[in-house]
Structure 1
Amino acid sequence: MPTDDPRSIRDTFARYPSGIAALAAVVDGAPTVLVASSFTVGVSEDPPLVLFAVQRSSTTWPTLATAPSIGVSVLGERHAAVVRRLACRDRARRFEGVGTRVLPSGALFLDGAPVALECTTEDVYPAGDHDIVVLRVGSVESDAGQDPLLWYRSRVMTLAGGAA
């Protein structure tokens, strides 16, 4: 398939499974969330860095980028029913039916996340029609009893089975 066909590129990229993360904070008194399937952990352990890519056309990232601290919640199986709502254009509805907690820093976390990271923005790099955002991790939490969701073939899926 030619690489100048946006649909074939999108379909091909969709065949790579990834986790789903909600990046959130309270900004100017309002909860703000951006959902990313491009979130990557383990970029660096010293210092602890993670990253995600965000479309330059995002209307949420410019607001979230002003937050002094961002909560990253890796979405778990209990979030399957709310993933699309968290990402919807209607910002007022995004958190309906979603339990959250907010740290004094303003970082916002979704209840029941398998992984929760409090982060600050370290660097932003241009990358085509996206920006790559590197976050410095300030604190970590994990819940081994919760399994993450996956984004695969443009669908939300659960992690099934054990180690191969």
Structure 2
Amino acid sequence: MTDKEFIDIATALREQALRRGRCYPLDTDEAEDIAQDTMLRLWALRSKIVSADHAAGLASVIAAHTAIDLLRRRRQTVVTTADVEISETSGHTPLTAIEDQANDAWLQRQLSRLPSKEYEILHLRQVEQKSNGEIAAILGITPQSVATLLSRARHKLLEKIQRDRMRGLI
């Protein structure tokens, strides 16, 4: 499926994913998150999608699996931590490597605390280098909403960096 074909059916796919997310015991925001996650996954798979019906089926399955994963994560109480690997060949001292790891962990925590839509827009913009218009088409929102949410996400991260630096946390 081409990008244009996907964009043409994106709104209908998002609505289908939203309906599917509402079939589970989730609140409205969580159902919205599931719809957004579904659209991101469909966007990544768009080159393998052969038709609109195929896309609709995938949207339903992906939304259902995402909802189930969300419900399972709610039940989990175990927190896992990554092992620390310090490489002498990297040119960093062990202290620098630990500081870098702590900064990366801090950033990941802050990103995970952003509302899912803001996180998705930030990811599409910064990682996938999509324009506001492309992001709007993928997520089924207006380009103005993309700009607003992107600005809001960046502003939240900047404020958190400034607060935590003042406190000496980073």
TM-score bracket relative to the smaller structure = under 0.3
Greater fraction of residues in strand: 1
Greater fraction of residues in helix: 2
**TM-score, normalization: structure 2?**
0.23
**TM-score, normalization: structure 1?**
0.23
